[in-house]
Chains A and B, each alone.
Chain A
Amino acid sequence: MLTKYQIAQRIAKEVQDGFYVNLGIGIPTLVANYIPETMNVVLQSENGLLGMGAFPNEAEVDADLINAGKQTITMQVGASLFNSADSFAMIRSGKINLTILGAMEVSENGDIANWKVPGKMVKGMGGAMDLVASAKNIIVAMQHCSKDGKSKLLKKCTLPLTGLGCVKKIVSDLAVLAVLPTGGFQLLERAPNVGTDFILNATEGKLIIEGEIPEMQFD
């Protein structure tokens, strides 16, 4: 099974040269660490920055420069700043090439739930609903099962939805899967030393296995 760092490392392979990318809070934030420096990628932070750089050193810390997770950050060369309405205008109009975010549940038709657990966690959706409703390409970073072993890749989500039919790909601690437009999770890659039967058992939704499924490769 993959660590959260390995999930981030595997997702980083989906990022292409010239992409504008929005990274959600949690594992998605870690993806930035694995994007090769030779690649020209611009990270968008929905609180109003394109060209998010690394975390600052002590001397660079600026209270007026944070990311959507409220962490202090720096700006890349070529960065730009804007207000929240402009930020979501570029999200809604499809200018962002790739959105990477976490999920509590994904259904076999690509519905995603990641903002609310009724009676337990009611912190708000932040920008997640806007992002999933408009992104052309969404990759979800998630644990395949809950701590008590229940599958989070379902026929139908049980938690309040964030968006409908929007997830294209999932990288979990067990596998890489594509969500097919016709419905179903197509198994693309297995985590090292994880068998297809194990993944089948951990997936409540329809799992499609065609031919030999390769193991993920890490450089």
Chain B
Amino acid sequence: MINKVVASAYEAIANISNGAVLMVGGFGLCGIPENCIAALLQKGIGELTCISNNAGIDDFGLGLLLQTKQIKKMISSYVGENEEFERQMLSGELQVELVPQGTLAERIRAGGAGIPAFFTPAGVGTEVAEGKETRTFDGKVYLMESWLKADFALVKAWKGDTAGNLIYKGTARNFNPMMATAGNITIAEVEHLVPAGTLDPNQIHTSGIYVHHIFEGKNYEKRIENRTIKS
């Protein structure tokens, strides 16, 4: 067993420096690496490129790093619900690459699977297709999209063990498993860190080979964007 445990978020992100390309897990505020984001905020690293489905809200998630202008570029599928984001994008302070959600997920998966490109029908005939190669298979037109990789992938899981194996809960899984595979260095924060041998190997979602550093996160807020109750 190779031990992947570090003491804190601050120790885990110690090697992230200005200009790094990061993948940040989560869908909305569900399944985001809260502790790593807080550590990046505290450390004040800038010029970051963040690959993340969303950009958080004004005062939580990646929105925190937008407020402090630590992010130079976002690669996302949906960035609503964030006024500061919109302001920075329209003023040109922030570079934004919008990618269809399934294409984003597959580009990350491809990055982690050693596949440089693939063909998808999403975006054919739209501005997403501009400048991209198309090809016809079985009479239908597809668009070539390339892999995405990152210097660091920051993921959040429910449980993890000292060998770096991860189990996610509910829809907090989302982009986390693919991102874990596509980071040159992958940092996992978990709600419950347990000794190797405790988790059932049949139930592991992300194998420890993909995880370089793991720690138990603290003080999870797990904010809900749209608390909706049965009427």
Number of B residues near A (Cβ < 8 Å) is 56
Closest to B98 in A: A124
Residue B192 is within 8 A (CB to CB) of chain A in the complex: no
Known: A48-B171, A92-B120. A84 touches B53 (CB 8 A): yes
Query: Which positions 11-53 of chain B face chain A at CB distance < 8 Å?
Result: 27-31, 53
Q: Is the interface of A mostly helix, strand, loop or mixed?
A: loop
Chain A interface extent, by class: 35 or more
Stretch from A6-14, A140-148, A160-168, A194-202 forming part of the interface with B:
A160-168
Q: A residues within 8 A CB of B127?
A: 160-161
A65, A125, A128, A130: the one contacting B171 at CB < 8 Å is A65
A-B contact count (CB 8 A): 171
Residue B195 is within 8 A (CB to CB) of chain A in the complex: no
Say yes or no: B122 contacts A47, CB within 8 Å.
Answer: no
B78, B121, B178, B226: the one contacting A85 at CB < 8 Å is B178
Q: A residues within 8 A CB of B222?
A: 63-64
A48, A55, A57, A123: the one contacting B174 at CB < 8 Å is A48
Say yes or no: A127 contacts B28, CB within 8 Å.
Answer: no
Residue A72 is within 8 A (CB to CB) of chain B in the complex: yes
B28, B80, B101, B126: the one contacting A160 at CB < 8 Å is B126
Query: Which positions 46-86 of chain A face chain B at CB distance < 8 Å?
Result: 46-49, 54-58, 61-73, 81-85
Closest to A29 in B: B228
Query: Which positions 142-193 of chain B face chain A at CB distance < 8 Å?
Result: 158, 169-178
Say yes or no: A125 contacts B229, CB within 8 Å.
Answer: no
Would you give 9 A-B contacts (Cβ < 8 Å), ordered by A? A49-B171, A65-B171, A70-B27, A124-B80, A125-B100, A125-B101, A126-B100, A127-B101, A130-B102
3 A-B pairs with the lowest CB-CB distances in the bound complex, closest first: A88-B102, A130-B102, A123-B80
Given A46-B102, A56-B229, A122-B79, 17 extra CB contacts under 8 A: A56-B230, A61-B227, A62-B170, A64-B169, A66-B171, A72-B227, A83-B205, A85-B106, A85-B109, A125-B77, A125-B98, A125-B100, A130-B101, A133-B121, A133-B122, A133-B124, A162-B126
